[in-house]
Structure 1
Amino acid sequence: MTRSGRPRSGLRGNSDAINELALLLQDQLRQARMSVRDLCKAFDESHFQEGCSIPSHATVQRRLSGENLATARPLINAIITICTPAAEVQSVQKHAMELLRKAAISPPRNPVGADSGAETSELRAQLGILQRQHIATQRELHAERRQRSDASPGLSLTMMWLLGSLHATRDQEQPGSADATVADLQRRLLRIEKERDATKSALVAATRRIQDLESQLSSQPEAGAPTRPENQTEPTTPAPLQRATNAELETLERGLRSRDPDGNRMAAVLRRALDFPLDGSHTGRFRWDQLSKTEKTTLGTRVEIELRRAFGFDPGGQLDFKFNDIEFDCRYAMSAGRWSIPPEAHGKICLLITADDQTSSWSVGLVRADPELLNSTHNRSGSTTLNALGRSAIRWLHQDATLPNNALIHLPQADIDAIFTPRSSISRMVELFRRAQHQPISRTVAATVALNDQYERRIREAQGPLTEEGIIILRGSPDGQDIARRLDLPIPGVGEWVSARITALRDVDENTPHFEAEGQRWVLAMPHDPIAAAPSVVR
């Protein structure tokens, strides 16, 4: 797992603009998943003008805290060039130069009586950093869980193979060799569990630290802000770092969570929206890069249509939707941080959505797009994106949740070629369930391979040849789900199928995943097991 590193010390720039620039550079570094040491290793002479030496690790640390950052323009450009995606380099550099110009015309901070302001700035900086660390830790935990889940079937198969080998060759192998293998597997499991628990502990600690900092920050006055007279009311728009008091955001968040507490409805919305432009049953397409540029631009609109159908949102007056009398805009992007905020949504609540078929993940969050949370650069239509502070202000409803699987995306190209080469739709379906075992196959994937809407009939016709190879197809019926559960396979949902090759085994331990049919116990077959016909079971 990539470590996020510890938070850097408080910002030490001599103006607000320099501290904002330091935060911008820190955010670029964090999004690139690089430490300061990694950054220093990436420096070379081409990043600096002639006569400028490559800065040391300690110097870079100080500049990233804002110290003498105004005079380090070559270093600023080098950090942006290395850490920022190529498509965003020009925009980020322009923003950085604007902050430098702003710092040049702004008077430096007065150190007299500035203790409260310095403390507040440091708390703000630590809060933003820890919030981003919190998000990174959540992603690492999700990735670790997914890897563990993916590894579980393979580990179960390995254990079954080991038990079968022990039973078949117990009189031939040397005593203790199998015990050593089992012990090694147990050590691996223990190490994985310790890594998981350590990640959970880090996540809990980061959450508590963020809560502590938010509490401290809410009690700190703004640096240089005049004291509010007793008869003066609070501002109508809360500060971005006090967003917990935003009644509209809280009401909308509670309403959306109550409509979709586990995220299954939103996941289905995004799955349908991603599949719609592909139109797999007529085109055979299943990857995003198979779409034309024009087709890709329709995805955001499709997400809005599916959201309105699934959640029953009313159309808004100025923005996309209205829910519980609160208007909000829907912003979709393929990756986090790239949401385009149009002028009419500035200062308004935005529902931010991302979905990635390659990683089978999606995220949804809420933010009020206040001016201080937006980048100062705009395109011709006046749209802009969230700045570092804005990205840290997102209230995530679901982050890096699991997107319903598109099995075809994750298959090797050789398997894809074998599946789509036959001209017969039945033959293609046979290849699909032969090569994509132990994973859910959705209706969309089945229709894409069948290249028509008669995919259920083609699946039934494919079962005959596959049964002769010992392969069963389990659908999302009670019987199919029960057998999948007994074999420790993924449980197929409604409109899903899971295939697996099985074999009969007489001496099966009760703890070994198995089911009974035709008077025998059946287990998942190993590669070396002979091919034999599968039993006739209710599937």
Structure 2
Amino acid sequence: MKKTIPDSIVETGHPDHPLLAALADEITKRAGGAEALATNFPAMLRHCIDDVIMTPKTGRRSYDELEKTEKTYIGTRVEIELRALLNLPKGRLDTLILGHDVDIKNTMGSNWMIPTEAVDHPCILVAADEARARCYLGLIMARPEYLTLGQNKDAKKTVSASGFAHILWLLRDHLYPANFWRGVAPEVVERIFAGASGNRRMATLFRELQQLAITRDVVEAVAQQHDFMRRIRSDNGRGTRDLLAREGILLLSGHFDGPLIDALGLPPCSASEFVSYRPGTEAEVDIARAHGMPLDWPPETLLI
């Protein structure tokens, strides 16, 4: 997205304010409130992008590696998922809100392509900035005077530099989940997915990426199995937790092991996140044991 975006002038007295404010209120209400919108919209956007990148199956780690048709499909996916998130019906354009036909436009770049059929109609503007892990959600009345004079071969125009001031923002430069795999070295990704079983892949994930909060979505992607949470648990000596414990590595759940995570000074984990750690001293091993997490000490890997 553009590094510098002008402040919105869509306030009381602006010709578009009554309609856009009403649409914004309806969107917020349908999302379950402003806090729910700020949480669920970014998560939805991350999910749409990651499902197309498909790191576990393709080895790709970023949006830049996608084919042109896949990048186009993300826009369609966002439209579908946003309607589902807000429980909105399909309209003559992309959706119908308060009796108004509304177009939904998504971009991974710095602007939106506005088709001729959306001109003079309200548009929901969605944007994701992968490099900065920031997202945007706004509304604009696609008036000709807010759009560029030029157009592409499909007769689509973009929002002009001055037109950006006529966007009413619901979320602007808002933090959203970063692409997890973007920050993982290619050789590490290759080692993780080289495992022949879910347990082996999971063990490599948490062995390679210690002291890092890892989300449930990443666990599911690596396990590639229906009962992926089973890979996290102890399993008669065969589970991921068992394999790592024999190496002296703790696999902890933000939901169940919060006190131990805090006691060891590890990064905070939400209830749906996990973190691994190899204690470096007997004192840390004693802390783990006091919290019901026995470890082989010294670990097998240090005895070889």
TM-score where L is the length of structure 1: 0.47
Q: CA separation in 1, counterparts of 2:214 and 2:289?
A: 27
Query: Which of 496, 501, 504 is the equivalent residue of 2:278?
Result: 501
Query: Which of 405, 412, 416 is the equivalent residue of 2:185?
Result: 412
Classify the secondary structure of the residue corresponding to 2:34.
Answer: coil
Q: CA separation in 2, counterparts of 1:374 and 1:289?
A: 27
Structure-2 change in CA distance of 1:520 and 1:441 (3 Å): closer
Aligned to 2:40: 265
Q: Is the 8 A contact 2:211 2:266 kept in 1?
A: no
Q: Is the 8 A contact 2:59 2:190 kept in 1?
A: no
Whether 1:395 and 2:168 are equivalent positions in the alignment is yes
Counterpart residue type for residue 253 of structure 2 = R
Q: Is the 8 A contact 1:331 1:340 kept in 2?
A: yes
Classify the secondary structure of the residue corresponding to 2:96.
Answer: strand
Aligned to 2:257: 480
Across the two proteins, how many residue pairs are aligned to each other? Answer: 286
Aligned to 1:456: 229
Counterpart residue type for residue 163 of structure 2 = G
Q: Which structure: larger Rg?
A: 1
RMSD, aligned CA: 3.3
Q: CA separation in 1, counterparts of 2:61 and 2:231?
A: 19
Aligned pairs for 1:148-167 (under 5 A) are none
Counterpart residue type for residue 261 of structure 2 = A
Query: Greater share of helix residues, 1 or 2?
Result: 1
Q: Is the 8 A contact 1:281 1:453 kept in 2?
A: no
Q: Is the 8 A contact 1:282 1:452 kept in 2?
A: no
1:30-49 C-alpha deviation (Å, 9 max, x unpaired): x578xxxxxxxxxxxxxxxx
Structure-2 change in CA distance of 1:488 and 1:261 (3 Å): farther
Query: Greater share of strand residues, 1 or 2?
Result: 2
Q: CA separation in 2, counterparts of 1:396 and 1:515?
A: 51
Aligned to 1:366: 139
Shift of 1:491: 1.8
TM-score where L is the length of structure 2: 0.79
Shift of 1:328: 1.6
Which structure's relative contact order is higher, taking Cα pairs within 8 Å and 6+ residues apart? Answer: 2
Whether 1:274 and 2:274 are equivalent positions in the alignment is no
Aligned to 1:436: 209
Whether 1:326 and 2:100 are equivalent positions in the alignment is yes
Whether 1:314 and 2:85 are equivalent positions in the alignment is no
1:360-390 C-alpha deviation (Å, 9 max, x unpaired): 2211111111111100011232210011111
Q: Is the 8 A contact 1:505 1:520 kept in 2?
A: no
Q: CA separation in 2, counterparts of 1:334 and 1:515?
A: 48
Structure-2 change in CA distance of 1:450 and 1:287 (3 Å): farther
Percent identity (aligned): 30
Classify the secondary structure of the residue corresponding to 1:502.
Answer: coil
Gaps of 5+ in 1: 1-30, 34-130, 135-209, 215-238, 509-513, 523-530, 534-539
Structure-2 change in CA distance of 1:322 and 1:502 (3 Å): farther
Classify the secondary structure of the residue corresponding to 1:243.
Answer: coil
1:219-271 C-alpha deviation (Å, 9 max, x unpaired): xxxxxxxxxxxxxxxxxxxx999537621101111222332412111112112
Greater CA drift, 248-257 or 460-469: 460-469
Q: CA separation in 2, counterparts of 1:312 and 1:437?
A: 39
1:313-358 C-alpha deviation (Å, 9 max, x unpaired): 12223x211223333210001023x210011111211111112344
Shift of 1:463: 1.3
Q: Is the 8 A contact 1:331 1:351 kept in 2?
A: yes
Structure-2 change in CA distance of 1:430 and 1:368 (3 Å): same
Gaps of 5+ in 2: 234-238, 300-304
Query: Which of 479, 504, 518 is the equivalent residue of 2:289?
Result: 518
Aligned pairs for 1:88-487 (under 5 A) are 132=6, 242-243=13-14, 246-258=17-29, 259=31, 260-262=33-35, 263-280=38-55, 282-317=57-92, 319-336=93-110, 338-460=111-233, 461-477=239-255, 479-486=256-263, 487=265
Q: CA separation in 1, counterparts of 2:202 and 2:276?
A: 12
1:33-75 C-alpha deviation (Å, 9 max, x unpaired): 8xxxxxxxxxxxxxxxxxxxxxxxxxxxxxxxxxxxxxxxxxx
Runs of 4+ off more than 6 Å: none
Q: CA separation in 2, counterparts of 1:390 and 1:360?
A: 24
Structure-2 change in CA distance of 1:347 and 1:244 (3 Å): closer
Counterpart residue type for residue 243 of structure 1 = H
Q: CA separation in 2, counterparts of 1:465 and 1:283?
A: 27
Counterpart residue type for residue 173 of structure 2 = D
